[in-house]
Amino acid sequence: MNGDQVNDDRRRDERSAERRVGAMFGVTALAALGLAYIYIEGGQPQLEGLLLAVVLGALGTGFVLWGKLLLPHDEITEDRPPLASDEAAQQGVSRALDRAEDLLPRRSFLTRMLAAAAGALGLAALFPIRSLGPSPGRVLFRTAWAPGKRLVQEDGTPVRVTDLAVNGFITVFPEGFTERDKADSQTILIHEPPERLQLSDGQGRADWAPEGHVAYSKVCTHAGCPVGLYQTQTGHLLCPCHQSTFDALNGAKPIFGPATRKLPQLPIYVDEQGFLVAQSDFTEAVGPAFWERP
Amino acid sequence: MIRRATRWADERLGTQSFLRKSLNKVFPDHWSFMIGEIALYSFVVLLLTGVYLTFFFTPDTTIVVYDGSYEQLRGVEMTAAFKSTLDVSFDVRAGLVMRQMHHWAALLFVASTTAHMLRIFFTGAFRKPREINWVIGLLLMLMAIGNGFTGYSLPDDLLSGTGLRIAYSVAQSIPIAGNWVAFLVFGGEYPGNVIPRLYVIHILIIPAAILGLLSAHLAIIWRQKHTQFAGKGRTETNVVGSRLYPNFAMKSLGLFLMTAAVLAGLGGLVQINPIWLYGPYDPAAVTAGSQPDWYIGWLEGALRLMPPWEIRAFGRTIPNPFFPGVLLPGVLFTLLFAWPWLEAWASKDQAAHHILDRPRDRPKRSAFGVGASVFYLVIFLAGGNDVLAQRFQVSVNAMTKLLQAALFVGPVVAYFVTYLVCRELRDAGVPITHPSVETGILVRTPDGGYVEVERDPAEVEDEATPTSGASL
């Protein structure tokens, strides 16, 4: 092989590489025009994404090929000098600090006052954070339920004791509830044959579940999700978030999953017109536990 | 033209000597060094698509009635936040692609950040002098996760609302201050009015923090120069690779464009977070099989695997979610932050390192890393225990118990297996760090005999090509 031929080969390779890179940039230009056309014609998400991917991908491929085929690949070695500064710089810093120490001799009174000033300023600056929210107070121990409030469905219809078939369940809210009340007052009402319910647990709950109607807070005591799944055969209430399972037939005791507390039970009765009514609010805080709860 | 521009700047700012050093700066080549770049480039895509989305999104929880072009939800009451997300998806031209690209980019951002962190860990790149950048990198990872969570909570759909409800409960579980934290962050008892606050955090506070930390991260890499793997001519006092301009710049620009291309393809062709199928948030509704974005999965899984224990004493409670939701991530990240110092103390190695370890050369570190990864993987899988149970046709209860057992057995087994494999590989022979040095060359002597030239690869300093073979 002679030198001319080597040079010819190299030129040919270079021209072919140039054509490939150029083709990539050409694809970019065409796809970009296509993208603009699709947009003008009203847009189409799949085509937009596809064309944008082609635009960017071809451009990127062009650059990578350019680097791979048309640039030399020599390994370059660069020195890595130590990061730490030399002796002169170290001493310079020491001297500057010494000089400052002479100018600012230890004044312990001033230092103490400055610390007090900075501390007070920092404390005062924290106060506006308090405006971000109200004090928790007792609000977590209350819901919108109150004595005499009827149980209503999401659309506001009051629930009669005859509405719910045996083994049926619905979500109920206190009469006159607002959108905001739904978060802590949502309650699940279950109708089971009275003999299936084990309610005489010595806590005076015998009259909380008239004619087999038992009402539990729907807010999971673990992390607050709605306990939305009721398995009729087993009488289990299941929270779909973390699979806490409660035995609805036995005071909604937790029987599986991370929940540690029962779902609070809402005491209810049937009024003269046959509507289900709350005897009172829940007798304990609903939802997940917190520090102030026993 | 460029030359004239650099001179113009130099006469005013004295930039030429910095520019000279920068253009000639050497970057070592290794595929694994590109993972961090992918993280950087997903962040660029996040910024570009995110700014576009802010022009259309309304962080407002006022109830409105939907009247847009998505037939199935017309007439439904929803918050303005949810409605504006529907509008950007259906009624803003190019809006859906931007929104889906943004979501995919967020997933890739956290994924590549995590992969980058694993690369740094297993190759020992966190060692002196790079401890500061390890800490900044972990802060960036926390920011990435935080911004992912605040971002996917913004549309106020049923799925993200459930996530916020859980986050509120986890905040409440913090001993002593829990309720105050939850009330101050959410603006009162759940649901409060948190969407506008999340918006400020999502588009201002965290992005600003990421920009600041990222600048520091890159400036420190620039100052300290990149690490490199051992190899011919590579020492603790040099950097071997290609120059910034034009080789590295060309390659990196290509990587940026390809990252963006993949995200554009996903954004257009692969549906993500179809909030119109979930519907607007209703605190009394939930769907089974609710899954958060992948990077929250491990926290969700930890909540699911926790046995029903909590601490009650003196009329006070430390609730169950505190342990998996606050304590576990707290301990895990404290351990990660402290790792460079823990390892230096345990191995009594206080020296600076610029040559990377191969994972096999540090069996204990690698074993610990794999063990911790298996722990993470198990709780991550537990985040989908209901989906897994359904897929494998077992009860959720059995799947949960299996994963609880795996959480303790898995990491221990992984530790010992990794340790033994690494030690075996390390002791198997001379490390192949000089692959391009040819040894065992046969040479014919003038008197007709043959001798074999043997060389120790480590002692051969400069050799561009093999000495024999393809010579003409």
Q: Over the stretch A32-42, which tens digit does the pLDDT of each residue have?
A: 999 999 999 99
Encoding tokens for residue A22? 């150029």
Strand-pair partners of A213? A191
Percent of chain A with pLDDT over 90: 79
Find all residues with CB under 8 Å of A93, minimum gap 6, and list them: none
- Structure token digits, residue B67: 């009247």
Judge contact between A229 and B288, C-beta under 8 A. Answer: yes
Give the contacts of B208 (CB within 8 A, at least 6 positions apart): none
Q: pLDDT tens-digit profile of A168-202?
A: 999 999 999 998 899 999 999 999 998 888 875 66
Determine the residue type at B414. A
Option in A52, A63, A77 nearest B97 (CB): A52
| Element spanning A88, H or E | helix A87-103
Examine the pLDDT at A264 and tell me if it is beyond 60. yes
* Closest to A63 measured CA to CA, from B239, B47, B260: B260
Closest CA to B305 of A227, A242, A219: A242
Chain B residues close to A258, C-beta within 8 Å = 303-304, 306-308, 320-321, 324
Q: Which of the two residues, B200 and A72, has the higher pLDDT score?
A: B200
Q: Which of B29, B183, B305 to mutate to test the interface with A (most CBs of A within 10 A)?
A: B183
SS3 A171: strand
Element (H, E) at B41: helix B34-54
Q: Does B135 touch chain A (CB under 8 A)?
A: no
Q: Within its chain, how far is the Cα of B47 from the centroid?
A: 17
| Cβ-defined contact of B180 to A288 (cutoff 8 Å) | no
A77 vs B240, B256, B306: nearest CB: B240
Return the H-helix or E-strand segment holding A188.
Answer: strand A187-191
Does residue A205 surpass a pLDDT of 90? no
What residue of A is the nearest CA neighbor of B257? A60
Environment class of A35 (CB within 10 Å of its CB; exposed 0-12, middle 13-18, buried 19+): buried
For residue B241, give the nearest of A76, A226, A289 by CB distance. A76
Asked if residue A202 lies in contact with residue B249, where contact means CB atoms within 8 angstroms, the answer is no
Whether B269 and A77 lie within 8 Å, measured CB to CB: no
Would you tell me which residues 58-77 of chain B have a C-beta closer than 8 angstroms to some C-beta of chain A? 63
Counted residue by residue, chain B has a size of: 472
Residue B290 has its nearest CB partner, among A46, A61, A240, at A240
Closest-approach residue (CA) in chain A for B162: A225
pLDDT at B467: 42
What residues in B contact A290, CB-CB < 8 Å? Answer: 172-173, 178-179, 317, 319
Per-10-residue mean pLDDT, chain B, length 472: 92 94 93 96 98 96 94 94 96 96 98 98 96 98 97 94 94 95 94 95 97 97 95 92 93 97 97 93 82 93 95 93 97 97 95 94 96 97 92 92 96 97 84 59 83 67 43 35
The DSSP 8-state label assigned to residue B360 in this structure reads G
- pLDDT for B232 equals 85
Does residue B373 sit at the A interface (CB-CB below 8 Å)? no
A148 Ramachandran zone, left/alpha/beta (phi>0; psi -120 to 50): left
| Nearest-neighbour CA in chain A from B74: distance (Å) | 18
User: Which residues of chain B have a CB within 8 Å of the CB of A183?
Assistant: 189-191, 283-284
Judge residue A168's burial from the number of C-beta atoms within 10 Å of its C-beta, 0-12 exposed, 13-18 middle, 19 or more buried.
middle
- The answer to whether the CB of A223 falls within 8 A of the CB of B321 is yes
| A:249-288 residues touching chain B, CB 8 A cutoff | 254, 256-260, 287-288
Contact (CB<8Å) B254/A223: no
Q: How many CB atoms lie within 10 A of CB A242?
A: 28
Distance CA B9, CA B31 (A): 35
Contact A280, A216 (CB under 8 A): no
**In angstroms, what separates the C-alpha of A108 from chain B's closest C-alpha?**
34
Which chain B residues in 239-298 lie under 8 Å from chain A, judged by CB atoms? 239-243, 246-247, 250-251, 253-258, 260-262, 264-269, 282-290
Say yes or no: A168 contacts chain B, CB-CB below 8 A.
no
Q: Is the pLDDT of residue A208 over 50?
A: yes
- CA separation for the pair B243, B18 (Å, rounded): 15
pLDDT, tens digit, 9 for 90 and up, residues A223-249: 999 998 999 999 999 999 999 999 999
CA distance B167 to B160: 10
Chain A residues with CB under 8 Å of B383 CB are none
Element (H, E) at B343: helix B328-347
**Nearest chain B residue to A141, by CA:** B189
Query: Cβ of A129 under 8 Å from any chain B Cβ?
Result: yes
Most A-contacting residue of B296, B317, B394 (CB-CB within 10 A), to test interface: B317
**Contact check, Cβ <8 Å, A183/B189:** yes
Measured from the Cβ of residue B212, the count of other Cβ atoms closer than 10 Å reads: 13
d(CA A54, CA A42): 20
> Can you tell me whether residue A148 is helix, strand or coil?
coil
Pairing outcome for strands B228-229 and B355-356: parallel
- The verdict on a CB contact (< 8 Å) between A257 and B308 is yes
Q: Comparing C-alpha atoms, which of A220, A214, A170 is closest to residue A194?
A: A214
User: Is the sign of the CA dihedral B279, B285, B286, B288 positive or negative?
Assistant: negative
Residues of B in Cβ contact (< 8 Å) with A243: 304, 385-386, 396-397, 400
Whole-number Å distance between alpha carbons of A277 and A270? 6
Please enumerate in sequence order all residues whose Cβ is within 8 A of that of A141, keeping only pairs 6 or more positions apart, or say none.
A284, A285
Label each residue of chain B as H, E or C: CHHHHHHHHHHHHCCHHHHHHHHCCEECCCHHHHHHHHHHHHHHHHHHHHHHHHCCCCCCCCEEECCCCCHHHCCCEEEHHHHHHHHHHHCCCCHHHHHHHHHHHHHHHHHHHHHHHHHHHHCCCCCCCCHHHHHHHHHHHHHHHHHHHHHHHCCCEHHHHHHHHHHHHHHHCCCCCHHHHHHHHHCCCCCCCCHHHHHHHHHHHHHHHHHHHHHHHHHHHHHHCCCEECECCECCCEEEEEEHHHHHHHHHHHHHHHHHHHHHHHHHHCCCCCHHHHCECCCCCCCCCCCCCHHHHHHHHHHHHCCCCCEEECCEEECCCHHHHHHHHHHHHHHHHHHHHHHHHHHCCCCCCCEECCHHHCHHHHHHHHHHHHHHHHHHHHCCHHHHHHHCCCCHHHHHHHHHHHHHHHHHHHHHHHHHHHHHHHHCCCCCCCCCCCCCEEEECCCCCEEEECCCHHHCCCCCCCCCCCCC
Question: How many Cα atoms are found within 13 Å in the side-chain-facing hemisphere of B27?
Answer: 21
Are the C-beta atoms of A276 and A268 separated by less than 8 Å? yes
Taking a contact as any Cβ pair under 8 Å apart, which residues of chain B between 157 and 196 contact chain A?
A: 162, 165-166, 168-170, 172-180, 182-192
This prediction's pTM: 0.91
